């Protein structure tokens, strides 16, 4: 099946007694057994479900759906994108190990890597992943993982994933790619050899700003390890959130098609405005689009706080990817955890706005921004 068809008909596991058109919500903490022998059969591999923290049909459907679209053997779900990243890291790294990560990444990931992983005894080096020599220089004997984002947040640099994978192969390292901004609609990192792909499914996978979830995909071996970490750490996804994520996933290709087209039009319209110092928007990210995020940096003479008050129906939120156009302020939200000197090095300034472009009429979106800037 082609992508758009797989997006709607991904492999949901249905039991013989299920007759409804959509999957029921298994809103249960545990599953019942006929007797003790029947319960023991779960540990023998003959039963799929035991206790929802360890697995549930609704969360499995979301994991399978994303894995199928990404072209992976298996997927696992978790309570958020960050918990999915942590599960992937702990599937390959232990105390005493070292990770090399791109420096231009989401602020929450930076906080996880620079502070929390340190508590686990895992060291992380941040590097310019557009520079192969810089990556090679940071790799040590105890390095086990290269981590990057397919389209970086918020500067929208398109990563050379094939190059990253080649470097990892030379040094026998695993790779993990945060594919949240691109989604499998645009980029599928497993196709160039990435070992693990992670999503904040809160964003485009769910797509409607009503669920917090994470999805990690990869080989059966790696995902089994990650699933065990999620279960043991108690960072599992709930059944209703899994159901919501699955429902949202089925319209991914339609939403991304419209949002990417709108984002391209908005980026083109904003490039000619005197109030805008720079427009960040990828070019040639993928054959079917360049993403649904546009980042702009205003000129020094613009009052960014006055601008934020003139956005009419466009919401100001600390997230992205809903069907409604919204903006966020990276310095005050997503990249607040980054030290000021790192933000300055990357070019994440206090004049910067990240726009998450929705499915509205493109001309209406453009009008709001042009009027606000005027």
Q: CA 127, CA 220: separation in Å to the nearest integer? A: 30
- Determine contact, residues 178/146, Cβ cutoff 8 Å: no
Work out the widest C-alpha separation in the chain, in whole angstroms: 74
Active-site amino acid positions? 53, 106, 178, 203
Q: CA 237, CA 52: separation in Å to the nearest integer? A: 9
Q: What is the DSSP letter of 285?
A: S
- Determine contact, residues 142/172, Cβ cutoff 8 Å: no
Q: CA 200, CA 210: separation in Å to the nearest integer? A: 13
Separate counts of helices (H) and strands (E) for the chain: 15, 12
Pairing state between β 98-102 and 196-200: unpaired
User: Using CA of residue 13, residue 18, residue 19, residue 25, what is the dihedral sign?
Assistant: negative
Give the helix, strand, coil percentages of the chain, each rounded to 5. Answer: 40, 15, 45
Instruction: State the burial class of residue 273 (Cβ atoms within 10 Å of its Cβ: 0-12, 13-18, 19+).
Output: middle
Instruction: Look at residue 231 and give its three-state secondary structure.
Output: helix
Q: CA 60, CA 74: separation in Å to the nearest integer? A: 10
Secondary element (H or E) of residue 144: strand 143-149
CA-based nearest residue to 175, from 93, 103, 231, 110: 93
């Amino acid at each position: 099946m082609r992508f758009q068809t797989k997006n709607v008909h991904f492999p949901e596991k249905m039991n013989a007694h299920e007759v409804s058109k959509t999957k029921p919500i298994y809103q249960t903490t545990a599953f019942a057994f006929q007797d003790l022998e029947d319960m023991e059969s779960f540990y023998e591999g003959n039963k799929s479900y035991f206790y929802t923290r360890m697995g549930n049909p609704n969360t499995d459907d979301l994991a399978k759906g994303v894995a199928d679209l990404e072209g992976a053997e298996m997927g696992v779900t978790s309570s958020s994108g960050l918990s999915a990243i942590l599960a992937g890291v702990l599937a390959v790294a232990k105390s005493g190990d070292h990770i090399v990560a791109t420096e231009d990444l989401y602020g929450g990931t930076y906080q996880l890597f620079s502070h929390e992983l340190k508590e686990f005894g895992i060291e992380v080096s941040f590097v310019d992943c557009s520079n192969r020599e810089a990556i090679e220089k940071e790799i040590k004997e105890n390095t086990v993982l290269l981590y990057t984002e397919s389209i970086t947040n918020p500067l929208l640099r398109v990563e050379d994933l094939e190059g990253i994978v080649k470097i990892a192969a030379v040094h026998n390292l695993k790779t993990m790619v945060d594919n949240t901004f691109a989604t499998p609609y645009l980029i599928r990192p497993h196709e160039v050899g990435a070992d693990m792909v992670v999503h904040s499914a809160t964003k485009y996978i769910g797509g409607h700003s009503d669920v917090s979830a994470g999805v990690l995909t990869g080989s059966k071996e790696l995902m089994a390890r990650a699933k065990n970490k999620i279960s043991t750490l108690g960072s599992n996804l709930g059944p209703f959130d899994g159901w919501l994520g699955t429902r949202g996933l089925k319209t991914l290709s339609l939403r991304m098609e419209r949002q990417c087209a709108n984002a391209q039009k908005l980026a083109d319209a904003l490039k000619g405005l005197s109030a805008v110092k720079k427009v960040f928007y990828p070019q040639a990210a993928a054959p079917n689009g360049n993403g649904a995020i546009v980042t702009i940096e205003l000129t020094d003479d613009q009052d960014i706080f006055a601008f934020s008050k003139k956005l009419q129906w466009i919401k100001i939120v600390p997230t992205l990817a809903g069907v409604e156009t919204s903006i966020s302020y990276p310095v005050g939200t997503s990249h607040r955890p980054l030290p000021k000197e790192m933000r300055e090095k990357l070019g994440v300034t206090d004049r910067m706005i990240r726009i998450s472009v929705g499915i509205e009429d493109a001309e209406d979106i453009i009008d709001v921004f042009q009027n606000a800037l005027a």
